[in-house]
Structures are given as C-alpha cells and as structure tokens.
Amino acid sequence: MPVMLRVGLTGGIGAGKSTVATRLVEHGAVLIDADLLAREVVEPGTEGLAEIVEAFGPDVLTRDGALDRAALAARAFADEQSRRRLNGIVHPRVGARTAELMRNAAPDAIVVHDIPLLVEGGLAPHYHLVVVVDADEEVRVRRLVEARGMSEADARARIAAQASVEQRRAAADVWLDNGGARDIVLAEVDALWADRLVPFEANLRLRKPRPPRSPLVSPYDETWPGQAERVLGRVRAAAGDRAARADHIGSTAVPGLPAKDVLDLQLTVPTLDVADELADALSDAGFPRAEGHWFDDPQDGTAGSAVWDKRFHFGADPVRPVNLHVRAEEGPAWRLALLFRDWLRANPPELAAYAEVKRRLAGAHAGDGTTQPYAEEKQDWVNDAFTRAEEWAERTGWSPA
C-alpha cells in the first residue's frame, strides 16, 4: 500500500469542520468522511443494514426500507451491550471502506480523514498530523440552534458528551479557531496547505532529509513536552510490541533549559537488527531513516573503545522538526541519554551551567548555517558532565523510570 500523507481532521459538533474540509478539497486533498461512510455501509440493500435488522428487529426500518435512525438509537443505545453490538456491525465496515479509499488514492495524495470521534477513540497516533477545528461553546450552541434546529439544552448536552477542549488540545498538531469570520479560518487553511501539508507529503514520499538548521537556541517552550508526547504516540504505534520504550530526551525535555526547536526522541529496541526491521514502518509513520553510519561517542572510559552504533530517523514534518535516535537495549547509550536528562532536571546549578555553554556557543556559531560545529564544540562539556551524572546516579540510586 503506498504511503500517502494521512491527516486526521476532527472537532466538536458545531465547530465548523466542514468549512475546513471543503477548503482542503479545493486545494486537492482526498477527503474521506467517516460520517458519510457510516451512512453508506447501512444503505438499503447492504449487508450492514441486513445485519442491523437481524440484531435489532424490523422496527428500525422506515416504510420504504431505509434505516430509521431515531428508532435504531432508541434500541442500540439503551444499554452498553446493544451499543457494542451496533458498533461491531458498523465500525468494521467503515474501516474496510476507509482502507479501500486510501488504497485507491494516488501515491502523492494528501488524504484528509474527517472523523468526529478521533480524540474519543484514541486514534491520533495513526495519522501523520491531527488538525482540530474549534469554536467557543456559545458560538457552537448558536450554530446548532440556528442551523440544525436543536434546542439549546440538546446542543449543550451533545457538546458536553464529546471530548473536552483540553483533550482535543492534547491531540492537536494544528489548532484552527473557527469562531470568527470565515475568511480568517480559510486563510489559515490556505497557509496550512502550502506551508505544511504539501512539503510534508513530499518529504514523506521522497524520504527527504531535513535541510541544515542554525544552532541558535530558543528559550524553553512549555509546549515542547506535549508536542513530544504526540509524536511519541506515532513512534510507539509504528514500533508496536518491538519497542522496549520510547522517551523524550535532549534539551527540550529539560524544563527551563534553552534549546534548538528540535524534539529529540529516543526509541529503545532490543537489538539494532530490530531497529533495521522497523526502518520501513518508522519511515512510513513520518520518520524517514537517515542514510549513513550513525553512532554515539563511547563514554565508558576505555581507550580505543568502539563507537556505540545506533540508527537515526528524522521527522518529515517541516514545521515540527524531530530527531529520532533508535538505540539498542543491549548497549549503554539509551540509558545514558535518560540519565543526562534526569540529572539536569534534578541539579539546577548544572542546568544553569549547561544553558550558559549552549548560549555562548550558539552565538559564536550563529552564522554557520549548520549545527555541526556547535555540537562538536559543546561535546567536551557534555562528556565531562556524563561523569558527574554517573556519580550522581550512584549516590542517589537512580535508574531509568
């Protein structure tokens, strides 16, 4: 199956998701509408409708043989067992039809899956990007009352039954506020398409490496951990049960530490053979494997020690840069990465000293156009710090959580 960019589009009832979906289609996106498919698989003459009648009786049909949704809801949502029975009929068919539509999309397609319950279903890790459309609750209530004829009480009850704003924000890579003028959100969608989705698709399909970046560091961003957790969800989904663990490491994982706006993530696997077996799955999930020999400098103090080999993948998203280090559980490097992070978190004077080194060297190498000289010069301080971190680990009994 060709790998095309998969975008999950979601939002609460009344948020105006269709406005965003329509604009994306105008730009060339392939739209798969989960609600539309849920209706399609139970149309008259389908196996889905026949199975629903068998499960819930002929009273769930209208006079002309179509599904009476109100009658079905009264029966299917009467208890948890009935609801699960209905979902067992509809969801597999919707899933199969969704997979069919994705298979039929062009290899360079940008597929937008409009799925209302994406957050509630925990489906975010299965998309390369999640776009959430939102609007203030009062705006949504007014739309539902005026455009759909709902009572205010019904509108508020439906909003309350869905995922909260906080839950949606946790899942959102892109947050579109559709509570204002229509032209504003359309302009944001236009920019999203041109600046993120189109280059993301090309990077994913062509396995293009990220262009060189400046070593300039930014003040610590409180949103980095949440961003990292979203990306780690995709890494874990791609690696499955072959992952020993997946963690946010590096400077963006240390509160208060200035850093380049690049998330460093670590996937720990049993062996590097497993890392090689996972290369295609990680690449398809949005983390193309980098060519060449990747390794960590040995820190075991033994003269002439062999380098610590690893595998390296980079994020294909042009807006959210990611370095994914894949290290073997049988080697020492994965543990050292976690130790260094936790040691900095627990020792403010060391954090302050490291921050000063980073700022000084970033300024000195600001015009380099690459991070390589900055990283090489910084490594001397880091190597010495590893020794102090190991001493701290021995004193405190630290071990990876």
pTM for this one?
A: 0.91
Instruction: Give the whole-angstrom CA distance, residue 197 versus residue 174.
Output: 11
Known binding-site residues for ATP equal: 14-19
Contacts 24+ apart (CB under 8 A), 327-332: 327/266, 327/267, 327/268, 327/269, 327/275, 327/296, 328/268, 328/269, 328/270, 328/271, 328/272, 328/274, 328/275, 329/244, 329/268, 329/269, 329/270, 329/271, 330/270, 330/271, 332/299, 332/300, 332/308
Known binding-site residues equal: 14-19
**Amino acid type, 48:** G
Show the tokens assigned to 225.
């951990």
Give all strands (DSSP E) within 135-224, no chain letters. 174-177
What is the predicted pLDDT for the residue at 362? 86
What is the predicted pLDDT for the residue at 211? 78
Helix, strand, coil percentages (3-state) for the chain, rounded to 5, are 55, 15, 30
In the chain, what are the domain boundaries? 5-206, 224-396
What is the predicted pLDDT for the residue at 301? 61
Domain 5-206 annotated CATH 3.40.50.300: yes
What is the predicted pLDDT for the residue at 2? 61
What is the predicted pLDDT for the residue at 336? 96
CATH class of segment(s) 224-396: alpha beta
**Amino acid type, 373:** P
What is the predicted pLDDT for the residue at 161? 87
Mean pLDDT in each 10-residue stretch from start to end of the chain (401 residues)?
A: 87 94 98 95 95 93 92 84 91 93 93 95 96 95 90 90 94 96 96 97 91 80 97 98 97 96 97 97 96 89 75 96 97 96 98 94 81 85 94 97 88
